[in-house]
Structure 1
Amino acid sequence: MGRVTEARDAALDPAVMREQYRTAELDESALAPDPAGQFARWFEDAAASPEIHEPNAMVVSTATPDGRPSSRTVLLKHYDERGFVFFTNYASRKGGELAANPYVSLLFPWHPVARQVIVTGTAARVGRDETAAYFRTRPHGSQLGAWASAQSSVIGSRTELLSRYEELAARYPRGEQVPVPPHWGGFRVTPDAVEFWQGHENRLHDRLRYVAEADGAGWRVERLSP
């Protein structure tokens, strides 16, 4: 046990793991007028980076009404001035928690370029027309998977999951339209704050946060201490 602990401590040695970020400063004068515009700039940079495999991968954090949090990685499918959209099984853990408590946080961890974007806001279901339009763009296998998996529920084995998938594949062969599951759809996260984090040396990071004005008249920008 002692050797295991020593190995673990060595692996977590700050001298080994610490990284000095050498990046350009993020200045208020260089920001877009609103967070959607700034996010578009940074997302374009992340998508162009060969080191970032899935720039639209984000950590979605939800919580129960009594404050018990949970997080998971989800793919962003659309964003604009109205917010950030992802799709899921409404009966999943995150779907249930958002139904009971709509407050949500999104984190885009673009570590290779020393950037993060943190979104806080509220989630609401998108319309069924929007869900159906997106569902039709998914690969055939992913459409079947949305039916096969009762997401977040306990199952006996992987064999059980694969058997369900094969049944669906026989019912809806490739080329045949798969109906949109009634329990599946999108959430749009409307932000009330969006933070843009740029890493720097000596932990003197830039943290600029857009905060929605209470009267809906736009956004103000705050600089946060790192």
Structure 2
Amino acid sequence: MRDLRGRIDTTMQDTSICDFKTFSDVLARSGVNVSVRGQNVSYAFLDANKKQRRARGKRLGTDYEKETILNELERRTRERTAQQLDREDQSRATELVRETTSTDTALEQRERQAQSRKPRIDQLRNAVKPIADHLQHFTGAVREFAGKVEQRVIDSKLYKDVASRFKADLAKQEQARQNAIKQDLAKRMAPKKQPQKSYYREPEGRSR
């Protein structure tokens, strides 16, 4: 019985065993076969004299009964689950701290980069400002020139219109003058009518 208790105790000392099946498999490798009947558990084994033995949990003691062993295994399962959750929580917390630290580092780096770029930006702004002012002045000059060109185009169109009308009037006047000259020449060149001779003779003794 002492030998059997020792084998069971050695198996239960392995805290990695958290379920009844694993408990039974490990005991089987130690030469102890576990069988369950209702609320009872019995152990079959060979003693030191190679004699087949069988004992119930009640006979071995309360620590070797089914309920006690199951309660211990369930406690280990809960404890392992809690430890796993704690490890996961700790891992998440560590990861969160790492991410926060990484974010803070990135923000600090960006801030340093922004501070280092600020003088360059100021230099660039100072360099660009005269160019921008010159461009603005040039744009104003271009607009003024465009306005003058537009006005000249308008004046040119107006001049062309007046000149065209003046030429048309001159052409009409010249045409009228030519027509008058032609009419005068026609009158001058026309043959004159000769006076007709009278063949009527008045009677003698009458004075004319």
TM range (shorter): under 0.3
Q: Which has the higher contact order (CA 8 A, sep 6+)?
A: 1
Larger Rg: 2
TM-score (norm 1): 0.19
The structure carrying a bigger helix percent of its residues is 2
TM-score (norm 2): 0.20
